[in-house]
Amino acid sequence: MRADTQISDREFVANLRAAVDAYLSAVDRWEAAYHKHYRLPGSDKVSADMEKEHSEYQERRRELEPLLPRAHRLCLKHRLRNPLGGLMRVSLGRFAPQQRTDSAIGRGERNAVSVCLLELHEACVEWAAEAPPSEKEPKPRTRSLLGRVIDYFY
């Protein structure tokens, strides 16, 4: 069995939330570094000043990717919309910094992801077992018809 299926759903959702937060902050840091200087859009080469941010982005992406299949299954299990797959379709550096100032992952997508993570957390909460019933005297099983009628109404 794989290691990600051996932990509970609640622990998995906590790990997923941490991985998504780290990924989004890595995207934000990458974009902040990208906007510091004039750059040409769509360049495949990573410039020397962005190597640290780019390697961190790649590392966070590799951490998040293996979690997505189980997250998709959990969304299906609890009948939730799954916006997490859209996070992997991000193309950083597609526009020059002076052409576009908004993030590659917009506010609407970030909000949908955070709502999904909150709903998954709520759906995966494990409730504590109920306390056993109090130890009263059990009623005798053989009662008269009148006794059973009285018990039924009162």
15 CB-contact burial (10 Å; exposed 0-12 / middle 13-18 / buried 19+) = middle
**Number of residues in the chain:** 154
Residue 67 included in any domain: yes
pLDDT of residue 62: 95
Instruction: Please report the pLDDT score of residue 44 as a whole number.
Output: 64
Number of folded domains in the chain?
1
Distance CA 108, CA 101 (A): 16
Find the domain containing 41 and state its range: 3-123
Residue 133 lies in a domain: no
pLDDT in tens, the chain (154 residues): 355 558 889 999 999 999 999 999 999 998 888 888 766 666 667 778 888 998 999 999 999 999 999 999 999 999 999 999 888 888 777 665 555 666 788 889 999 999 999 999 998 886 656 666 666 666 556 778 888 888 888 7
Those residues whose C-beta lies under 8 Å from the C-beta of residue 135, and which sit 6 or more positions away, are none
Q: Residue 99: what pLDDT?
A: 58
- On whether residue 142 sits in a domain, the answer given is no
62 found inside a domain: yes
Q: How high is the pLDDT of residue 84?
A: 92
In a domain, 75, yes or no: yes
Residue 46's pLDDT is 74
pTM (2 decimals)? 0.72
pLDDT value at position 145? 82
User: Quick one: tokens of 145?
Assistant: 């018809």
> Is 94 within the bounds of a domain?
yes
> Is there a domain that residue 50 lies in?
yes
- Domain annotation covers residue 141: no
